[in-house]
A and B are shown apart, each in its own frame.
Chain A
């Protein structure tokens, strides 16, 4: 089962008002504000029942209509224009806005018709002429002198970016496991018990520490040493195992 729900689309509260005026065949200069306000609010209620969010602009318009309605109940305001008393119609401002909106709505319908016609025109994109260009012609004005100057410029800039001009290479430190194993062996042989922190210097690189640690594990496996620790994260104490 499918439902077809048709919802009239209004561009805004003025659009809805114009629609109501059209529907009721009302003279725009003499709007029966009671009827229009009622129908306007009915429409908002209808939308709410359909769970459609009613934009704040519509609510503002509803309150404007109610305000005009209440003003109409009061005696007419008068202003003096050119020495004459003129009654102010509370609807005047709204009518002005409606008329202006109506004008642009009509203009937009006119534009829509033009759009319909002129969207049927085809244009051609710019011709790709790159194939016709001679790549060597662009270089013909370049002389050897220019190349030398360009190179000089590049070098100059390079020197500027590196004021000292001292370059050195940072080499990867290579530590062999055998070397570390031999080192630990000799140290343990000399002293029977030694701390891990004594073997590696404080400036030892990460890879050196890892290499020593791996050697340590290897020596434990071959049961050459035993390692103990007094607590978590405390220094490792390495002892030579009696054979």
Chain B
């Protein structure tokens, strides 16, 4: 099989599967090394973008998924009715920022930084699968630690956590 054919099969797989699928899963189906499939997927992703296809290949961590282009929303929304797009509250976004940058982090740390209780926000974030429990802190009481999920990456259009802008980008230098 040449790469052209393999890519073609992968495209069909991504379409049928619909949901995020890891490159290793696809590799198993094709009986090819994961590394090879992964780089083919990255090539495909570029090709889709280069040809300005209406479908993008979205990558986050090791998962791939087909999705539309955000800039086509204006037209797509006209044929898709009653789509539920609940955006996150400011409280939830603040909580999520702290989890994303300080993970793994305890609820007590989040509360301290925000100056208010964050139970509700955390619940919302876990319910929307943006945040998950990530072990327990080895301190008295063994409090839960929280971290972000792959869904978090997808939700904010990130390929990996490395793509989060560094903290230095936000601290405004107040030179005199």
Do chains A and B stick together as partners? Answer: yes
- Residue ID in chain B nearest A107 by CB atoms: B97
In the complex, whether A32 has a CB less than 8 A from a CB of chain B is no
Tell me whether A111 and B70 are in contact (CB under 8 A): no
In the complex, whether B94 has a CB less than 8 A from a CB of chain A is yes
In the complex, whether B170 has a CB less than 8 A from a CB of chain A is yes
Q: A111 touches which one: B67, B114, B116, B156 (CB < 8 A)?
A: B156
**Nearest Cβ in chain A — how far from B172, in angstroms?**
8
For A172, the chain B residues whose CB sits under 8 A away are: none
Interface residues of B in 118-132 (CB under 8 A from A): none
Bound together, the chains give a CA A115 to CA B58 distance in angstroms of 15
In the complex, whether B93 has a CB less than 8 A from a CB of chain A is yes
**Nearest Cβ in chain A — how far from B61, in angstroms?**
16
Mark the stretch among B3-11, B14-22, B44-52, B138-146 that contacts chain A: B14-22
In the complex, whether B157 has a CB less than 8 A from a CB of chain A is yes
Q: A115-B156, A126-B19 are contacts. A110–B116 as well, Cβ < 8 Å? A: no
In the complex, whether B171 has a CB less than 8 A from a CB of chain A is yes
Tell me whether B93 and A127 are in contact (CB under 8 A): no
Interface residues of B in 11-70 (CB under 8 A from A): 15-19, 56, 58, 65-70
Q: Using a Cβ–Cβ cut-off of 8 Å, how many residues does chain B contribute to the interface with A?
A: 46
Tell me whether A103 and B171 are in contact (CB under 8 A): yes
- 18 other A-B residue contacts (CB within 8 Å) besides A112-B90, A114-B157: A57-B116, A57-B117, A61-B115, A100-B113, A103-B170, A104-B98, A104-B101, A108-B90, A114-B156, A115-B88, A115-B155, A117-B70, A117-B157, A118-B157, A122-B68, A123-B67, A124-B18, A125-B18
Q: Using a Cβ–Cβ cut-off of 8 Å, how many residues does chain A contribute to the interface with B?
A: 40
- Residue ID in chain B nearest A116 by CB atoms: B87
Bound together, the chains give a CA A238 to CA B96 distance in angstroms of 86
Bound together, the chains give a CA A140 to CA B70 distance in angstroms of 47
For B56, the chain A residues whose CB sits under 8 A away are: 121
Q: A29-B174, A110-B165, A122-B76 are contacts. A57–B115 as well, Cβ < 8 Å? A: yes
A contact patch SS: helix
Interface residues of B in 145-176 (CB under 8 A from A): 154-158, 165, 167, 170-171, 174
**Nearest Cβ in chain A — how far from B62, in angstroms?**
17
Bound together, the chains give a CA A118 to CA B18 distance in angstroms of 17
- Residue ID in chain B nearest A29 by CB atoms: B174
Cross-chain pairs A/B with CB under 8 angstroms, 29 sampled: A11-B91, A11-B94, A11-B116, A12-B114, A12-B116, A13-B116, A28-B174, A55-B116, A101-B115, A103-B170, A104-B101, A104-B114, A107-B101, A107-B167, A108-B93, A108-B96, A112-B87, A114-B158, A115-B93, A115-B155, A118-B70, A118-B157, A120-B70, A121-B67, A121-B68, A121-B69, A121-B157, A127-B15, A129-B16
- Residue ID in chain A nearest B66 by CB atoms: A124
In the complex, whether A14 has a CB less than 8 A from a CB of chain B is yes
Bound together, the chains give a CA A8 to CA B13 distance in angstroms of 50
Most buried by B among A13, A116, A123: A123
Q: A104 touches which one: B73, B76, B97 (CB < 8 A)?
A: B97
In the complex, whether A105 has a CB less than 8 A from a CB of chain B is yes
Tell me whether B115 and A97 are in contact (CB under 8 A): yes
In the complex, whether B85 has a CB less than 8 A from a CB of chain A is yes
For B16, the chain A residues whose CB sits under 8 A away are: 126-127, 129
Tell me whether A111 and B174 are in contact (CB under 8 A): no
Q: A122-B67, A123-B18 are contacts. A107–B114 as well, Cβ < 8 Å? A: no
In the complex, whether A119 has a CB less than 8 A from a CB of chain B is yes
In the complex, whether B1 has a CB less than 8 A from a CB of chain A is no
For A127, the chain B residues whose CB sits under 8 A away are: 15-18
In the complex, whether A106 has a CB less than 8 A from a CB of chain B is yes
Bound together, the chains give a CA A27 to CA B172 distance in angstroms of 13
For A14, the chain B residues whose CB sits under 8 A away are: 114-115
**Nearest Cβ in chain B — how far from A166, in angstroms?**
53
Tell me whether B115 and A119 are in contact (CB under 8 A): no
Bound together, the chains give a CA A64 to CA B153 distance in angstroms of 38
